[in-house]
Amino acid sequence: MKQKQLQSLLFKIIVFVFIAFLLDFVMGTFFASLYSKQKPGEIYRITYSIDSTKQDVLIFGSSTANHHYIPEIFKKRMNLSCYNTGKDNQMIFYNYAILKAVLERYSPKIAVLDIDRGEFKTEEQSYDRLSALIPYYKSHPEIRKIIELRSPYEKYKMFSRIYPYNSLIFTMIMGAIESQKERKDIDEQNGYIPLTDSCYANLIKDTSFGVAHFDSVKINAFESFVRDCKRANVELYIVISPLLVEYLHEDPSVTLIKQIAKRDDISVYDFSNSPLFVSRVLFAGNGTHLNDTGARIFTNQVIDSIMKDQKLALRRQSAN
């Protein structure tokens, strides 16, 4: 009797596992198809950045990149095509993954990396946010090591077809709704998302020294970003965007970034305390991002800096 019960239990377990695998396969395949059809929107911009960019200039960074750099101005002033790969709440891990995927296909002429204050600080969220890249794990082996930073078990979780889309189901469903698909009111200008509202916050003073507890993995990712650009003959420029804040002390991450950049002969443009950007008129929302008016001034300032450096480089080459 016990043997029959054991056989019955074993049979039920096998049936349960089979059904679980079947559901995972069917639902995972459905979600993968749904994911690939997202257009336009955040998911589409990630896919385009990884698989389809071919522009001369690529902008990398978080929301400050996403809202501060206008590709059309790069095109008009530098006669170079440009795409903004910036993504809200993402930092060096995400940016390095996008760069690695891009370099598998081609080498852009210029890369602009917008860096946040506190870029190297220790925080678990930086790893959790890599979930945005999980759908590309199987198709892009070059970024697997970065995604696997999320946890020691990440590679094993990838056996599930549903897992890559767990945190994206609501976003995908909303993107599939016709009213969302059409989204004509959302202005996506080669990845740039303009903000048009006005700021209601006042300029504040920041007297802190910032967080000095560095995450060595982030530092390594930044150094790899710099190194890979050099290997691919990509001109790299690092920028710290302005905020509606007067910083009385330099952030430790920014200090280290400047040291690494100086060692590798990379230009850093620090606009964090620029007197050009102290007016609320140039900011949107709570002062954390420039509005479209401010972004136009800022983009031109960045281009001025790049073109000045390029002229200096040409003079040095001529002198030699």
pLDDT digits (tens, 9 = 90+) for 174-227: 666 654 544 444 556 899 999 988 888 888 887 777 666 899 999 999 999 999
Domain assignment of residue 286, yes or no: yes
Cα separation, 214 vs 154, in Å, equals 24
Q: 94-106: buried (b, 16+ CB within 10 Å) or exposed (e) per residue? A: bbbbbbbbbbeee
pLDDT at 179: 43
Q: How many CB atoms lie within 10 A of CB 180?
A: 15
- CATH number of 140's domain: 3.40.50.1110
- Those residues whose C-beta lies under 8 Å from the C-beta of residue 150, and which sit 6 or more positions away, are 127, 128, 130, 131
pLDDT at 1 over 70: no
Are 84 and 69 a contacting pair, CB within 8 Å?
yes
Domain assignment of residue 15, yes or no: no
Q: Mind listing the pLDDT tens digit for each residue in 256-277?
A: 999 999 999 999 999 988 888 8
Domain assignment of residue 98, yes or no: yes
pTM of the model as a whole: 0.88
Domain assignment of residue 17, yes or no: no
Strands (E) across the chain are located at: 57-60, 82-84, 110-115, 204-206, 235-240, 245-247, 267-270, 283-284, 289-290
Q: Mind listing the pLDDT tens digit for each residue in 131-179?
A: 999 999 999 999 999 999 998 988 888 888 888 888 777 777 766 665 4
pLDDT at 238: 98
Both tokens of 117, joined, read: 């204050």
Are 43 and 37 a contacting pair, CB within 8 Å?
no
Domain assignment of residue 9, yes or no: no
pLDDT at 314: 77
Select the more confidently predicted residue: 116 or 100: 100
Domain assignment of residue 250, yes or no: yes
pLDDT at 174: 67
pLDDT at 27: 75
Q: Mind listing the pLDDT tens digit for each residue in 9-51?
A: 776 677 777 677 777 667 777 777 777 777 777 888 999 999 9
Q: Mind listing the pLDDT tens digit for each residue in 288-318?
A: 899 999 999 999 999 999 999 888 777 777 7
Select the more confidently predicted residue: 93 or 2: 93
pLDDT at 185: 45
pLDDT at 182: 47
Cα separation, 245 vs 27, in Å, equals 47
Burial of residue 294, with CB atoms counted within 10 A of its CB: 0-12 exposed, 13-18 middle, 19 or more buried = buried
Domain assignment of residue 270, yes or no: yes
Helices (H), 158-215: 169-176, 178-182
Domain assignment of residue 6, yes or no: no
Count structural domains, the chain: 1
The domain in which residue 119 lies consists of: 23-319
Round the average pLDDT of the chain to a whole number and report it: 86
Both tokens of 64, joined, read: 């400050």
pLDDT confidence band for 229 (50 / 70 / 90): very high
